[in-house]
Amino acid sequence: MSTSLPGAPARNVILIGGSQGSIPVLKRLLAGLPREFHAAVGITVHRSPTFASSLADVLGVHACIPVCEGRDGQLFERGAVYLAPPDHHMQFRGGAVWLDRGPKQQFVRPAIDVMFASGAASYGPRVIGVLLTGNLSDGVAGLIRIKQQGGLSLVQEPAEAEAPSMPVNAISYDDVDIAFKSDSASNLLALLVAGASLDRASRVPGVRRLPRKQQLPALRTGQQRNSMRVGGYDRTAVGVLAELQRLRRR
């Protein structure tokens, strides 16, 4: 019996953002994807603009599908992974990758928010947004845009994240669909791309379906986002660590 939702959109664009501690997670995720993977994958990781990077090669060793640094005007095609290069935002228009050195967002370039927002505008409900471990809140506003356009919002389980504040802030401000442990990520994405419902996907071990939110707090901008209280929780670094300890005690 099919587990897909009748009339559900094809989920064939996966956009992944991460920062501190995300490289080991990406290695496991890409290694677990099948060779016949019918989705295009875009990845933005916070990277030094001056350090010569071989990240595409590092990730490609573990992947069953090709991994490359995105090139301006390159086609964004299914069955391949496109990595935002250092010091460039990565966006999508007309089925292609577009790079620019526009202003930093969330103090960084490339920024996850830029890629997520562009993907949401170009691909709408076809997008699965994935936010991994990282500090502060880059990617949170972009996940909100993805949800507004009918896409799915996924985050790494904060309790296992090396730097939990990006997933924690996403859960606070966005109507996140699923939190997952890193060992479950590739199976989860393969199921969603194949058309599985959220209920079916949430039965994968290490995957947790999050309850729907009726009302979301306003997302502040700039440095305000890094020192505030939301829903009774302190969103400073100290508050994030306290919440992480609470999650681990569950």
Q: pTM higher than 0.75, yes or no?
A: yes
Q: Select the more confidently predicted residue: 75 or 62.
A: 75
Q: Select the more confidently predicted residue: 7 or 122.
A: 122
Average pLDDT on 172-188 reads 96
Give the start-to-end residue ranges of the domains of the chain.
13-211
Tokens of 113: 């928010």
DSSP class of residue 94 equals: T
Q: Is the pLDDT of residue 77 over 90?
A: yes
Res 213: pLDDT: 75
- 53: pLDDT confidence band, cut at 50, 70 and 90? confident
Q: What angle is formed at CA 210 by the lines to CA 20 and CA 14, rounded to 5 degrees?
A: 55
CATH fold label, 13-211 = Rossmann fold (3.40.50)
Average pLDDT on 55-63 reads 93
Residues catalogued as catalytic: 19, 46, 138
- The kind and range of the H/E element at 29 are helix 22-32
Q: Is 186 left (phi over 0), alpha (psi -120 to 50) or beta?
A: alpha
Res 241: pLDDT: 45
DSSP class of residue 138 equals: T
Res 212: pLDDT: 86
Pick the range with the lowest mean pLDDT from 29-33, 55-59, 83-87, 233-237. Answer: 233-237
Q: Is the pLDDT of residue 179 over 50?
A: yes
Res 52: pLDDT: 67
Res 102: pLDDT: 95
- Residue % of the chain over a pLDDT of 70: 81
